[in-house]
Amino acid sequence: MRFLRLFALKYALAAAVCLFADVASLNAQPSNKRPIDSLATQHLLAQVDAFQGSPATRFGTVALSVRRVRDGEELIGYNARLSLPSASTLKLITTATALAVLGPNFTYTTTLEYDGMVKDSVLTGNLYVRGSGDPSLGSWRFPGYPDVTTLLKNWTDAVKAAGIRRIQGLVVGDASLYDDITTPDTWPFGDLGNYYGASLSALNINENLYRVFFRPGKSVHVPATVLRTDPPVPYITFRNTVTTDAANTGDQVNIYGVPFMNQQWLTGKVPLGEPGNEFSVKGALPDPAYFAAYALQNQLTQNNITVSNPPLSLGGGLPTTIPVSAKRTIINQYKSPTLPLLIQQTNFQSINLYAEALLRTTALAVNKHVRTTEESLEAITSFWKAKGVNLDGFRIRDGSGLSTVGALTADNMTGILSAMGRDKNFPQYYETIPIVGQTGTVRSLARGTAAAGNIRAKSGSIEGVRAYAGYFTAADGEPMAFCILVNKFTPGQSRTVTNELEKIFVSLVGLKGADSLNAEKREK
């Protein structure tokens, strides 16, 4: 089925020679290849058009693409070929690529090993924790897998089992798999010190998270005191200007820091609480590989295994070199949860770190010569182009959507999602996407409507952007892919935007997969 594209009409100006396209005045028009037989389709487009002209979005852009999964045909396109920020809906593309390339049985392996030799309980050499990019190492999210405390104890037990009671060398966090700066260069500076902006390492641990605990002041405007961190990171120093706000105002703290720098700035406010109450916020470990080595060395010391030198980290662009022998002896290997479990957490909890890890791992599987984020993105783009997906306007800058300058079109998104819908691994992928009105970041959306329980969607939200993408089942049982992007909506209109999107969701599930209408609106 081919659709007739809309073209801008040319108008002649009085006494003028130039012609121009008044693209702002174009209205959605049906394809002339067959009649429009669905009031539901026309109602949805009128609804989206009214939303675009409303006070909440009249100065921004609303884009919508709806595509049949079985053959990839786009049935509805409204501003669908305009490049817009995707926010965290981009994680759907990253995770789809990972599952299509790596397969559902993929796991990461983290290795505990040493070089040198062991004699009379003394290791003359270095002990290494060598990472392969696992974002879940030491995470608390996976039942049956060790959290960071248990993991450190397991590693210590493995060292003891190897007959080592003294290390005449270094404990090394080996993140050398990635030898570049892994933080995407378009991530906002203000995000980098916070947990959601945690930078990727080849040796991630505890999701590269630490918590700062505050004691709020006894009244509003009084300074809040830093009490401790969990886990302990005494090598990080804080410049604290956090003050106390009214009760129940929530977390207003921002942590400023950058990768590999142990000076952090704490700004903002914490809420007033009952006397003696504490309040914690989440920060990003500046060098996860160093923390892994530091924490393991502490655990070894607590178990009477002495180490003669301070801990050290390798990788991430650091120029560090250490004397090593050619051969390493493995004493423990840790296997991560399988890829579908990692992807489910990525999409349900919208964890940026997991998405960036999967991006790099997938790209290396596609092209073993990939060395940077930019090359990784090129590898992912090439993968979908080879499957026939139109990626005009595809300008992503990371794997998670945290970048404020990355962009894609709604057409790009549904093209990839529909192609994934025909992949052999689609059943596992489908289960990793939250259900509207029930689970994940969309659990409170459209409750009590026909959309709840039908649509599986990933949400995305950064400043001025609201986005959703995923799948739904049409009224005639046809599996469909969709993407809706709202960009630069009016400040203070967040609730209004959400309400309108919920109404659009209800209209989506009323569509029929046989309906066809190309309603692309041109960029103003």
What domain range includes position 356?
A: 10-103+340-508
Give residue 190's identity as a one-letter amino acid code: G
Q: Do 420 and 332 share a structural domain?
A: no
Whether 5 is covered by a domain: the verdict is no
Q: Are 148 and 205 in contact (CB under 8 A)?
A: yes
Q: Report the number of distinct structural domains present in the chain.
A: 2
Q: Do 471 and 353 share a structural domain?
A: yes
Whether 516 is covered by a domain: the verdict is no
Q: Do 167 and 63 share a structural domain?
A: no
Q: Do 256 and 137 share a structural domain?
A: yes
Q: 443-463 b/e with 16+ CB inside 10 Å = b? A: eebbeebbbbebbbbbbbbbe
Domain boundary among 297, 319, 337: 337
Q: Are 219 and 243 in contact (CB under 8 A)?
A: no
Whether 259 is covered by a domain: the verdict is yes
Domain boundary among 304, 337, 370: 337
Residue 494 Cα distances to 179, 395, 486, angstroms: 41, 26, 11
Cis bond before residue 216 (omega within 30° of 0):
no
Q: Do 319 and 447 share a structural domain?
A: no
Q: Do 348 and 269 share a structural domain?
A: no
What pLDDT is stored for residue 151 in this prediction? 98
- Phi and psi for 217 in degrees, rounded to 5? -70, 175
Q: Do 449 and 303 share a structural domain?
A: no
Q: What is the dihedral of CA 76, 389, 439, 480, to 10 degrees?
A: 40
Q: Do 267 and 346 share a structural domain?
A: no
Distance of CA 211 to the CA centre of its chain: 20
Tokens standing for residue 498: 């959400």
Q: Which residues contact 42 (CB under 8 A, 6 or more apart)?
A: 36, 517
What pLDDT is stored for residue 524 in this prediction? 36
Strands (E), 79-142: 109-115, 117-119, 122-124, 127-130
Strand-pair partners of 11: 20
Q: Do 144 and 161 share a structural domain?
A: yes
Q: pLDDT per residue over 135-157, tens digit each?
A: 999 999 999 999 999 999 999 99
Residue 206 Cα distances to 146, 201, 282, 439, angstroms: 10, 12, 12, 24
Q: Are 426 and 419 in contact (CB under 8 A)?
A: no
What pLDDT is stored for residue 389 in this prediction? 97
Query: pLDDT averaged over the chain?
Result: 90
Q: Which is nearest to 178 in space by CA: 258, 288, 261?
A: 288
- Phi and psi for 173 in degrees, rounded to 5? -85, 105
Whether 257 is covered by a domain: the verdict is yes
Domain boundary among 287, 318, 337: 337
Q: Which residues contact 11 (CB under 8 A, 6 or more apart)?
A: 19, 20, 22
Do β-strands 109-115 and 328-335 pair in parallel, antiparallel, or remain unpaired?
antiparallel
Whether 1 is covered by a domain: the verdict is no
Q: Do 214 and 111 share a structural domain?
A: yes
Whether 346 is covered by a domain: the verdict is yes
User: pLDDT tens track of the chain, all 524 residues?
Assistant: 332 232 232 223 232 323 223 333 333 333 323 334 478 899 999 999 999 999 999 999 999 999 999 999 999 999 999 999 999 999 999 999 999 999 999 999 999 999 999 999 999 999 999 999 999 999 999 999 999 999 999 999 999 999 999 999 999 999 999 989 899 999 999 999 999 999 999 999 999 999 999 999 999 999 999 999 999 999 999 999 999 999 999 999 999 999 999 999 999 999 998 778 999 999 999 999 999 999 999 999 999 999 999 999 999 878 777 876 679 999 999 999 999 999 999 999 999 999 999 999 999 999 999 989 999 999 999 999 999 999 999 999 999 999 989 999 999 999 999 999 999 999 999 999 999 999 999 999 999 999 999 999 999 999 899 999 999 999 999 999 999 999 999 999 999 999 999 999 999 999 998 755 444 443 33
Whether 458 is covered by a domain: the verdict is yes
SS3 (DSSP) at 230: strand
**Domain containing 82 — which CATH number?**
3.40.710.10
What pLDDT is stored for residue 515 in this prediction? 58
What pLDDT is stored for residue 404 in this prediction? 87
Q: Do 324 and 371 share a structural domain?
A: no
Whether 521 is covered by a domain: the verdict is no
Q: Do 292 and 274 share a structural domain?
A: yes
